[in-house]
Structure 1
Amino acid sequence: MAPNITPDPDKARMLRGPMLLRTDGAKKSTYDQRLLELGSDHDWLHADPWRILRIQGEFVSGFDALASMPKAVTVFGSARIPEGHPWYQQGCDLGKALVAADYAVITGGGPGLMEAPNRGAHESDGLSVGLGIELPHEQHLNKWVDLGLNFRYFFARKTMFLKYSQAFICLPGGFGTLDELFEVLCMVQTGKVTNYPIVLLGTEFWGGLIDWIRERLAAEGLISPQDMDLFLVTDSVEEAVQHIVDAHGVMTDERLANATQVDEYTPVHEVLEQADRR
């Protein structure tokens, strides 16, 4: 039998908002009092409970702004490649080709190989979307973005890429691009998202990594042999876009099915007007 223990009478229970606490003294102040008092400190702006609301706000803003998105392809790539580089021109060509195939183009919204696909899409009168991130060296969305959002948190931004894209193309890039590539590969491999097509554009750039994946991960049983089929490696913009079009022709995602019933690409101004009304 459990011992008969009487609660310490000096430690009364007290409600503090939704919490029931045992305490040894009276409350110094109430939530209302601390909210309404003048001269309160603002450390709460940096506390975890307030961060949760900021995170929630980023998701709400993203879902709200992108709710009317047509079918779209996200393009990842380096921020460090300047205009005039062959990879930059390839990015512009890719943006134009995606618009010609009736896709909106989503990027990370920054310079370099994010700017290039946005530019190609914008110059072709397609929908050019940029999802930026707050970084010490990247603080702006490029000028070719028609619909843009800037995020504090990487994970909120990544959710928007996954939720509003039906394919992913990786141009050459650094750690950020590799992070995004492997995030998408992992989500597709584990069945967390629909088996969306993934393309790596640039056989010379990506070749060493693909060899390592094949010779180490696949050969040692760390991934399945069929996982090598989760992506296409090519130098051809046309082949990359056609691979996506062909894959979407047999996929069951409702957004793709609905898109095939529409005769014309959703005009950019309509998407932007719907986003503005929200």
Structure 2
Amino acid sequence: MEQSRRERRQGQAVFRGSLVPTSTHDQRLLARQGSSDWVHMDPWRVLRIQAEFVEGFGQLAELPPAVTVFGSARMGEESPDYAQGRRLGRALAEAGYAVITGGGPGVMEAANRGARDVDGAVSVGLGIELPFEQRMNDYVDLGIEFRYFFVRKTMFVKYSCGFIALPGGFGTLDELFEALTLVQTRKVTSFPVVLMGTEFWGGLLEWVKGTLLGTAKIAPQDLELITVTDDVDEAVRIIVDADRARSQQQEEELASAAAQPGEPQ
């Protein structure tokens, strides 16, 4: 009986049964309020948003180099996508990376589980408050529950050196295109985006090439921001190569700065 009760996490709190709120913080943030209610409510909400950023930064600041893995929450253990996610999580951990997911079930659980298969690896879940129940999966070493999607997305980008997207739904597409936009606009640099599953992503890539590129909505070089593969080893190698190139570039920039004559006093 107890296990069938509804449950929802909100920040550090857990609500069950009749105490589960009927809406989420994101819903209330985006709702159009009548009269002048927003004057009294939104300033206080800003403080909560600020606190959520502070909490995320504090918890994640000392992570080792990490890779974020996106994918569907709806795939069970019997799914080929789950098996691939677990292999990917393990391969990333063996290459020395922490694995970050959305913390949920399905492919996210698989990637966290694969990381946990490697001794000493770090498995991270960044969860989100949803209108329906979704618990943090059991293979997360460090789990943080966020109220606001935009805070959570910031953590995905800030503490990752690359994204790998396995087959997924609207949430995966949202995260994928946000990552591509950040790379395209150079908000983040040397940041590989890998799609795993040529059959799954093939139709989308054809549309991108035929419609977006074909009508000049994107530039030809924008296609180079995406790599599609079915090979776990290739996906990890892309991450490792980009990471090494970024480190080498930083070393060269530091050496160049050190070689410059000092500014006159």
Instruction: Give the shorter-chain TM-score range.
Output: 0.7 to 0.9
Q: Distance in 2 between matches of 1:168 and 1:175?
A: 16
- Aligned residue pair count: 213
Larger proportion of helix? 2
Aligned to 1:33: none
CA distance 1:163–1:138, shift in 2 (3 Å):
farther
The equivalent of 1:82 in structure 2 is 76
Q: How many Å apart are 1:204 and its aligned residue?
A: 0.2
Question: 2:174 aligned with 1:174, yes or no?
Answer: no
Ranges in structure 1 where 5+ consecutive residues have no aligned partner: 1-42, 258-278
Query: Can you list the C-alpha shifts for 1:85-144, whole angstroms capped at 9, x where unaligned?
Result: 111010000000001111100000000011000000012121000000001224321010
Q: State how far apart, in whole Å, the 1-side matches of 2:232 and 2:51 are.
A: 37
In structure 2, relative to structure 1, the CA distance for the partners of 1:168 and 1:231 (3 Å cut) is: same
1:249 to 229, 244, 253: 244
The alpha-carbon distance between structure 1 residues 63 and 49, as it changes in their structure 2 partners (threshold 3 A), is: same
Q: Deviations over 1:242-277 (max 9, x none)?
A: 1111122211499x97xxxxxxxxxxxxxxxxxxxx
1:211 aligns with 2:206: yes
1:183-202 correspondence runs (5 A): 183-202=178-197
Q: Is 1:112 the counterpart of 2:135 in the alignment?
A: no
1:53-64 equivalences in 2 (<5 Å):
53-64=47-58
Find the structure with the greater CA-based Rg. Answer: 1
TM (norm. structure 2) is: 0.77
Select which of 235, 239, 263 maps to 1:240.
Answer: 235
Which 4+ runs in 1 deviate beyond 6 A?
A: none
Residue deviations 1:20-40 (CA, integer Å, cap 9, x gap): xxxxxxxxxxxxxxxxxxxxx
Q: CA RMSD in A?
A: 1.7
Identity over aligned pairs, percent: 64
The residue type paired with residue 196 of structure 1 is F
Amino acid at match of 1:246: D
Moved more, 165-174 or 119-128: 119-128
Conserved 8 A contact 2:190-2:242: no
For 1:1-278, what aligned pairs fall within 5 Å after superposition?
Answer: 47-125=41-119, 126-252=121-247
Q: Secondary structure at the match of 1:149?
A: strand
TM-score, scaled to structure 1? 0.74
